[in-house]
Amino acid sequence: MIFRCIIKPFKRWAFNRAKLYTYYYIQIYNKKYIIKYLNKRKKIAKLKSDKNLILLIDKLAHNDLLIKLENDDNLDNIFKKINNYLINNTNILDIYNYEFILDFGNYIVNLNNINKKDLGLDHSKVREYWLKRGPRIFITSIVLLTSNYILYVYLKKIDFKTNIYLISINLIALLLSIYMLYYRLPDSIESAIARTTHDYYVKNKNELYNN
């Protein structure tokens, strides 16, 4: 009963932390690969000497606009945001390219739809790294460090300062193992999201070169 009272709040906290990490890394990698997509399209536009498209891409790459677009999965909303931004910040008639904006909007929508598959990562990763492996690693670390201390004290005569030193070193080692264990979860979530977004970007990049 006591164990359950402890583990239940911990699970709730752990799942919440994992969810926050998932959304955090989705936002980071969405923006990263939206910018990479625009840079790739700009590179292709330069090869074709399409100056108007280059100007349009430069405007679409503005940070204020990207913040509004990066997590939107509705194509109509994306069009409205882009059009409003271009109307207020450019001579829209000179650089507007419906086909490119449609491609760009679809890229963002599909990227966000792919990210939805990663939203279930929080529970599975928490169970793998904190609820399954975590206790085993933590107990192993305690047993190893405690055994090391006991055997050292038993086999050697030590003074007070040496004793304090051994206790301090073992405590530091234990804290470092907890630190490493904690960050296995966000590192794993980041790797999964990075792989998902990278694979999607590479697929689109290859399609651009094939067209």
For 67-98, how does the pLDDT look when each residue is reduced to its tens digit (9 = 90+)?
999 888 899 999 999 999 999 887 877 889 99
- The residues, any chain, with a CB within 8 Å of residue 115's CB and separated by 6 or more, are 26, 30, 193, 196, 197
- Examine residue 9 and state whether it is found in any structural domain, yes or no: no
Number of domains in the chain: 2
pLDDT band at 20 (very low <50, low <70, confident <90, very high): very high
Instruction: Tell me: do 109 and 172 sit in the same domain.
Output: no
Instruction: Tell me: do 31 and 71 sit in the same domain.
Output: yes
- Examine residue 67 and state whether it is found in any structural domain, yes or no: yes
- Examine residue 161 and state whether it is found in any structural domain, yes or no: yes
Would you state the pLDDT for residue 89? 86
- Examine residue 1 and state whether it is found in any structural domain, yes or no: no
Convert the pLDDT of each residue in 97-106 to its tens digit: 999 999 999 9
- Examine residue 70 and state whether it is found in any structural domain, yes or no: yes
